[in-house]
């Protein structure tokens, strides 16, 4: 089966150490630059935030919308060649995330996620999946993603629980930084995991990045956002980058080229003759 079968985030399957090394080198460079800048500019050193109300008011309050249609260009890096893809993403608040993928103007995959789980079909190889969110968690090397988390990831909202008692909030000239005081334990039906979590926000509270490191393994998830703008009264990111490191290493980049807030049809029917892929 091709690596770029159903449901956008299924594109994260399979891995490449090349991607991982490149990301690590890039991160090291950024850390070095940041360290140098802090040395040269004492005002940029992180300082405790005295008035935290405004921060939590902006980053915790749920986003209000009925539906959002996003046209995106998708690039996936796994170490194996995957052609550039055009995507239409349609999000109906609290109900569904629907996506259609095209390569060279040909529909190649379609997927839909609801609070009950995810479904996807590979039109090239005539195969489909029907699974719960365990499969998505497996692809992202985490254990806590559900439907609402998926919505928030795509729209650039904070998708992990943050609180004043569990995190330290500081501020510098670039914005805000939240770091977990202790390892954050997340328990699911199948496993317990502990994460070190770091979040970065711009001065206007736009989420810039979130990093989750599993302290008991090499697994790590990093998601970053850039070029935020306001559309229909809602701030949304143009670029979304999802980086997976560890037992599986890969990355997916979404360049959102258009946002629309009108409704649309979201057909999803598995044609006869398609083979079901069992998720293990």
Whole-angstrom distance, CA of residue 78 vs CA of residue 245: 11
pLDDT band at 277 (very low <50, low <70, confident <90, very high): confident
231: enclosing H helix or E strand: strand 220-231
Average pLDDT, the chain: 83
Q: Are residues 245 and 193 in contact, defined by beta-carbon separation less than 8 angstroms?
A: no
How many distinct structural domains can be found in the chain? 1
Compare 109 and 186 and report the one with higher pLDDT.
Answer: 109
Residue 150 lies in a domain: yes
Whether 156 shows a pLDDT value over 90: the answer reads yes
Closest Cα partner for 224 from 125, 153, 149?
Answer: 153
Task: Give the long-range contacts of residues 100-107, CB within 8 A, separation 24 or more.
Answer: 101/4, 101/8, 101/74, 103/4
Residue 89 lies in a domain: yes
Whole-angstrom distance, CA of residue 18 vs CA of residue 141: 18
Residue 96 lies in a domain: yes
Residue 52 lies in a domain: yes
Whether 13 shows a pLDDT value over 60: the answer reads no
DSSP H helices, the chain, are: 17-40, 53-60, 134-140, 147-155
What's the CATH code of the domain at 33?
Answer: 2.50.20.10
Residue 21 lies in a domain: yes
| Planar angle of CA 103, 109, 115, nearest 5 degrees | 140
Write out the two tokens for 67.
């539906």
Compare 33 and 240 and report the one with higher pLDDT.
Answer: 240
**Least confident window among 2-16, 63-77, 101-115, 153-167:** 2-16
**Least confident window among 9-23, 192-206, 264-278:** 9-23
**Global confidence as pTM:** 0.82
Share of the chain above pLDDT 70, in %: 81
**R_g over Cα of the chain:** 19
Q: Are residues 216 and 32 in contact, defined by beta-carbon separation less than 8 angstroms?
A: no
Write out the two tokens for 170.
């500081």
Whole-angstrom distance, CA of residue 60 vs CA of residue 96: 21
Whole-angstrom distance, CA of residue 195 vs CA of residue 198: 10
Domain that holds residue 222: 8-38+46-258
- In sequence order, the β-bridge partners of residue 113 are 97, 118
Q: In this structure, is the dihedral angle defined by the CA atoms of residues 174, 25, 87 and 270, taken in order, positive or negative?
A: negative
Whole-angstrom distance, CA of residue 104 vs CA of residue 186: 41
Residue 88 lies in a domain: yes
Whole-angstrom distance, CA of residue 85 vs CA of residue 76: 9
Question: Which pLDDT tens digit goes with each residue over 230-248?
Answer: 999 999 999 999 998 887 7
Whole-angstrom distance, CA of residue 251 vs CA of residue 242: 5
Whether 50 shows a pLDDT value over 90: the answer reads no
The whole-number pLDDT of residue 83 equals: 85
Q: Are residues 102 and 86 in contact, defined by beta-carbon separation less than 8 angstroms?
A: yes
Q: Are residues 100 and 110 in contact, defined by beta-carbon separation less than 8 angstroms?
A: yes
**Least confident window among 6-15, 98-107, 130-139, 170-179:** 6-15
Whole-angstrom distance, CA of residue 9 vs CA of residue 153: 11
Residue 1 lies in a domain: no
Question: Which pLDDT tens digit goes with each residue over 66-112?
Answer: 999 999 999 988 878 888 899 999 999 999 999 999 998 899 999 99
Write out the two tokens for 245.
């490191």
Residue 245 lies in a domain: yes
């Amino acid at each position: 089966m091709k690596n770029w079968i159903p449901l956008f985030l299924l594109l994260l399957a399979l891995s490449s150490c090349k991607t991982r090394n490149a990301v690590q080198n890039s991160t090291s460079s950024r850390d070095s630059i940041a360290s140098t800048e802090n040395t040269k500019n004492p005002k940029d050193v992180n300082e405790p935030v005295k008035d935290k109300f405004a921060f939590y008011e902006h980053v915790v309050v749920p986003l209000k919308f009925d539906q959002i249609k996003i046209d995106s260009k998708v690039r996936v890096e796994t170490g194996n060649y995957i052609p550039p893809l055009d995507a239409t993403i349609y999000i109906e608040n609290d109900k569904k995330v629907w996506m259609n993928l095209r390569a060279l103007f040909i529909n190649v995959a379609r997927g839909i996620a609801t609070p009950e789980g995810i479904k996807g079909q590979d039109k090239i190889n005539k195969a489909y999946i029907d699974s719960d969110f365990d499969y998505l968690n497996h692809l992202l090397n985490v254990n806590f993603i559900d439907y609402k988390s998926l919505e928030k990831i795509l729209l650039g909202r904070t998708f992990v629980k943050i609180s004043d008692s569990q995190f330290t909030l500081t501020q510098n000239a670039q914005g805000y930084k939240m770091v977990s005081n202790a390892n954050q334990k997340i328990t699911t039906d199948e496993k317990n995991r502990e994460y070190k979590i770091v979040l970065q926000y711009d001065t206007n509270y736009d989420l810039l990045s979130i990093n989750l490191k599993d302290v008991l393994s090499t697994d790590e998830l990093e998601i970053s956002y850039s070029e935020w703008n306001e559309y229909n009264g809602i701030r949304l990111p143009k670029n979304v980058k999802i980086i997976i490191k560890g037992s599986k290493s890969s990355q997916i980049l979404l360049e959102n080229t258009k946002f629309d807030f009108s409704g649309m049809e979201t057909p999803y029917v598995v044609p006869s003759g398609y083979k079901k892929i069992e998720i293990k």
